[in-house]
Amino acid sequence: MTTLSPLRRTGSAARGTGPAARPRVTGRLVFLLCGGIALLAGLDGALLLLGLAAPVDSTRLSAVHGPLMVFGFVGTVVVLERAVAVRRGWAYLAPGLLGAGGLALISPLPVVVGQAALVAGSIMLLAVYAEIWQKQGSVSTAVQVLGALAGLMATIFWLRGIGIPQLAPLLILYLVLTIAGERLELSRISPTVNRRAEGWMLGISLALSFGSVVALVWPVAGYPLLGTGMLALVAWLFRHDIATRMVRSTGLPRYMACCLLAGYGWLVVVGGIWLLQGPVYSGPGYDAMMHAVFLGFVMSMIMAHAPTILPAVLRRPLPYRPVMYLPAALLHVSLLARVLFGDAYGWPVLVQWGGVFNIVAVLLFVAIAVISVVRGTTALPARTVPRGTPKQSGAQSPAAAAQKITGTRPASRGSLL
Ligand code: HEM
């Protein structure tokens, strides 16, 4: 769900014409397929965790549901986009190892094989960031490196036998900081994003990272720190992210902005739980915390960025369609039912129904995305520029401004790349 910056998308490799563009699109499809298998297996495990019947009845799938979703599905997809951006063949080892780790987790192999692959994939992700840093060292990259470090720590500690509930802050920061760093990158054209704002983002990310380590050894002190940091991050995102302006636009930018802002709202739930409740390792608060982040925030980010990320990875357009609002709305409404009424008010039946419709929303979005790619047209919506978006030097046309904001490139030549 991260988005390629304009700088990273230039050059022959970005167009897929140079040797660095290897492995080609079919190779990238294999990585996406690994992520897709992890998603389906993770959803199967989710049904079992909800206490419902599932297509495959396997305790292994419910046991590995969390890491499978975080690393095998989201990790593989996000890191694949990073590998495409860095334009080095070896960089594909990162999504490859995460994808293979996910497959190993759901195979009859010992779980430790999958765990070791996830550690190796996380190390390779740091190597990818080292490469990016050399080309384009920036605060946004630094924030993403902090996210990658949290992911690496989580995989190592899980391999060493620490439980997923204790590792929750690290798992959460892995994806939240990765996405926040990328949002900083994309929001640079916002008039409020200056060195001071960047400094705040870096400071908040460092505080969150510090809090996640403290939470491991001294939870009573670590969680309030994490909660404060998370709420500060939400404040930063609402204040500075270009989404607050994009929401006044139409078409793809407005759709993206709606998904982004709804996702930021869910981070308030996590920050609130950490601040007011402290460590939560099981029960309704645990379910609410995990899925406010991973469904409310992360899945919403995936829905927001898919129309700009998938074309960059697959080199096929995924045109925005208004019907994309349907799975996004279903996701947030069903999550509200699950978290607000099911978890908070203690109605397990709403946790189950909410969970089932969470799954329907995710599958519906995947189906719409696949159909859109297969039937894809290349036209951008006619009016895509948010009202009140400041004119940047070099942004010659409304279409160019929209492309900067959404991370897309001109589509008129038959490809978004
Ligand atoms: C799509 C619908 C989903 C449903 C219905 C679902 C359901 C569940 C349930 C019922 C639990 C057990 C909660 C508890 O122990 O109180 C759980 C745990 C968890 N889920 Fe999900 N989940 C979904 C999606 C996701 C996604 C997309 C992610 C991550 C990207 C994720 C990450 C986790 C994690 C990390 C745990 C904790 C696992 C553990 O403690 O071992 N889930 N999920």
Boundaries of every domain in the chain: 21-135
| pLDDT computed for residue 377 by the predictor | 59
Q: Is the pLDDT of residue 159 over 50?
A: yes
Does residue 309 register a pLDDT over 80?
Answer: yes
Distance 70 CA to ligand 1 centre (A): 9
- The more confident residue out of 84 and 94 is 94
Give kind and range of the element (H or E) at residue 330: helix 325-336
Residue 69 alpha carbon to ligand 1 centre in Å: 8
Residue 5 has pLDDT above 80, yes or no: no
253, 385 Cβ separation under 8 angstroms = yes
Per residue in 346-399, pLDDT (tens digit) is 899 999 999 999 999 999 999 999 999 888 755 444 344 443 344 333 333 334
pLDDT, greater one: 91 or 381:
91
- What's the confidence (pLDDT) of residue 258? 97
Using an 8 Å Cβ cutoff, are 98 and 72 in contact?
Answer: yes
Q: Cα-Cα-Cα-Cα dihedral of 142, 295, 187, 123, to 10°?
A: 20
Q: Is the CB of 104 under 6 A from ligand 1?
A: no
For residue 147, the model assigns a pLDDT of 98
Residue with tokens 């969390």: 66
Span from the CA of 30 to the centroid of ligand 1 (angstroms): 25
Helix (H) or strand (E) holding 169: helix 164-186
Using pLDDT thresholds of 50, 70 and 90, give the confidence band for residue 24. low
Higher pLDDT, 336 or 8: 336
pLDDT tens-digit map of 249-308: 999 999 999 999 999 999 999 999 999 999 999 999 999 999 999 999 999 999 999 998
Mean pLDDT of the chain: 87
pLDDT band at 224 (very low <50, low <70, confident <90, very high): very high
More confident residue, 218 or 3: 218
Distance CA 227, CA 204 (A): 11
Is ligand 1 within 6 A of the CB of residue 64? no
Assess contact for 50 and 30: CB atoms under 8 A. no
Range of weakest confidence among 36-50, 294-308, 331-345, 377-391: 377-391
**Which pLDDT band holds residue 79 (cuts at 50, 70, 90)?**
very high
Task: Give yes or no for residue 287 CB within 6 A of ligand 1.
Answer: yes
Indicate whether residue 43 lines ligand 1 (CB < 6 A). yes
According to the model, what pLDDT value does residue 397 have?
Answer: 38
Confidence of residue 312 (pLDDT cuts 50, 70, 90): confident
Report the percentage of the chain scoring pLDDT > 90. Answer: 74
Q: What is the pLDDT of residues 392-415, one digit of tens each?
A: 333 333 344 444 444 444 333 222
Whether 70 lines ligand 1, by a CB cut-off of 6 Å, is yes
Is 312's C-beta closer than 6 angstroms to any atom of ligand 1? no
* Residue 32 or 7, more confident: 32
Sorting pLDDT into bands at 50, 70 and 90, what band is 328? very high
Whether the per-residue pLDDT at 1 is higher than 50: the answer is: no
Task: Please check whether residue 228 is in contact with residue 276, taking contact to mean a CB–CB distance below 8 angstroms.
Answer: no
CA–centroid distance, 289 to ligand 1, in Å, is 10
Mean pLDDT (whole number) for 175-201: 93
Q: Above 90 in pLDDT, residue 233?
A: yes
More confident residue, 109 or 23: 109
CA distance 151 to 173: 8
pLDDT at 116 over 90: yes
Task: Confirm if 146 and 96 have CB atoms less than 8 A apart.
Answer: no
Lowest mean pLDDT among 76-85, 193-202, 219-228, 367-376: 367-376
Predicted pLDDT at 28: 87
**DSSP character string of 17-77:** -SGGG-S-HHHHHHHHHHHHHHHHHHHHHHHHHTT---SS--HHHHHTHHHIIIIIIIIHH
Atom number in ligand 1 closest to CA 165: 40
Q: Among the atoms of ligand 1, which is closest to the Cα of residue 175?
A: 30
Task: Name the closest-CA residue to atom 20, ligand 1.
Answer: 66
* Nearest atom, ligand 1, residue 362 CA: 1
pLDDT band at 235; cut points 50, 70, 90: very high
Residue 391 confidence (pLDDT): 39
Q: What integer pLDDT is reported at residue 288 of this predicted model?
A: 97
- Per-position DSSP letters for 310-325, written without gaps between them: HHHHHSS-----GGGH
Q: Which atom of ligand 1 is nearest to the CA of 298?
A: 30
Residue 54 has pLDDT above 80, yes or no: yes
Instruction: Give the single-character DSSP code of 407.
Output: T
